Structure 1
Amino acid sequence: MNQIRVLVVDDEPDFLKLIKRRLTKRNVHVDTVTNGEAALAFLREHPVDVVILDVRMPGLSGIDTLKEIRKRFRDTEVIMLTGHGSLQSGIEGISLGAYDYILKPFSIDNLLGRIRAANEHAKLRIARRGQQ
């Protein structure tokens, strides 16, 4: 089984270290960046399967970053992440093309399940497109 490649985008360095350590232990390849601009730059150079994207960040917001990812990297799934309990931002993210959203705090197993589901969804979409 190929390792799922994930980019986690969050402006909290301690959170990034924790999530990287926990997902790496579960056989997920994790890269991290601290803002939307860095995420877009990273994606131009390094394809990933799933982006975990914080909604609230300084500079380019998670929603604006999502819009750019949907335009430029259509085979990459995005899971929105918010620590502010905003159902509205999750709904907005889904309406703009995010695969899913998750509220902080969350269990690592819940996040891992969503990452795997998003990855499978992307694979199916790509396979269907290849059959057309």
Structure 2
Amino acid sequence: MVQPRILIIDDDPNILELYSRLLKKHGYDTVEARDGKIGMRLYRENPTDLIITDVVMPEKEGIEVIRELRRDFADAKIIAISGGGLATSGSVCLQIADRLGACRTFTKPVSTSELLEAVQELLEN
């Protein structure tokens, strides 16, 4: 059986490692990108079953990633996550991500159970 592949895009190396280890422990294969530009290149080269993206990043923001994915890969399954610096800017970013087509949105820190539940639900549908 092929393991579902998940692309994780986040500029924080600790978050990349945390999410990657968590998902691998639960039977998923992961691909990591430290910004949206790299993430989109990796996705175009070899699309994954799900994308988890931070919203606030250098190079290419998560909002741009979501917009590009919706334009070029309408069926992409996307989870958007933001710490957003200020709580209000983070929630505004997540509202925009939701409107642009993110399947789920979360504020950092995300509980592992919530993240895993969302991943499982999106991959089953």
Length-normalised TM-score, structure 2? 0.89
2:11 aligns with 11
- The separation in 1 between residues aligned to 2:113 and 2:26, in whole angstroms, is 9
1:96 aligns with 100
- The separation in 2 between residues aligned to 1:3 and 1:74, in whole angstroms, is 22
- The separation in 1 between residues aligned to 2:102 and 2:38, in whole angstroms, is 19
Query: Which whole-Å deviations, capped at 9, do the CAs of 1:31-52 have from their partners, x for residues lacking one?
Result: 1100111111101111211100
Deviating above 6 A after TM superposition, structure 1's stretches of 4 or more consecutive aligned residues are none
- The separation in 2 between residues aligned to 1:74 and 1:49, in whole angstroms, is 13
Residue 54 of structure 2 corresponds to residue 50 of structure 1: no
Q: Which amino acid aligns with 1:118?
A: L
Counterpart secondary structure, 2:68: helix
2:61 aligns with 61
Length-normalised TM-score, structure 1? 0.85
Alpha-carbon deviation of 1:92?
0.9
Aligned identity (percent) is 32
Structure 1: which 5+ runs fail to align? 122-132
- Summarize the alignment of residues 4-43 of structure 1 with structure 2, pairs less than 5 Å apart: 4-43=4-43
- Contact map agreement 1:23 1:108 (CA 8 A) in 2: no
Q: Which amino acid aligns with 2:119?
A: I
- Summarize the alignment of residues 101-116 of structure 1 with structure 2, pairs less than 5 Å apart: 101-116=105-120
Alpha-carbon deviation of 1:2?
4.5
1:80 aligns with 80
- The separation in 2 between residues aligned to 1:14 and 1:113, in whole angstroms, is 21
- The separation in 2 between residues aligned to 1:111 and 1:45, in whole angstroms, is 26
- The separation in 1 between residues aligned to 2:4 and 2:115, in whole angstroms, is 13
- Contact map agreement 1:36 1:62 (CA 8 A) in 2: yes
Q: Which amino acid aligns with 1:101?
A: T
Larger radius of gyration: 1
Query: Which whole-Å deviations, capped at 9, do the CAs of 1:42-66 have from their partners, x for residues lacking one?
Result: 0111121110010000121110111
Aligned-residue RMSD, C-alpha: 1.4
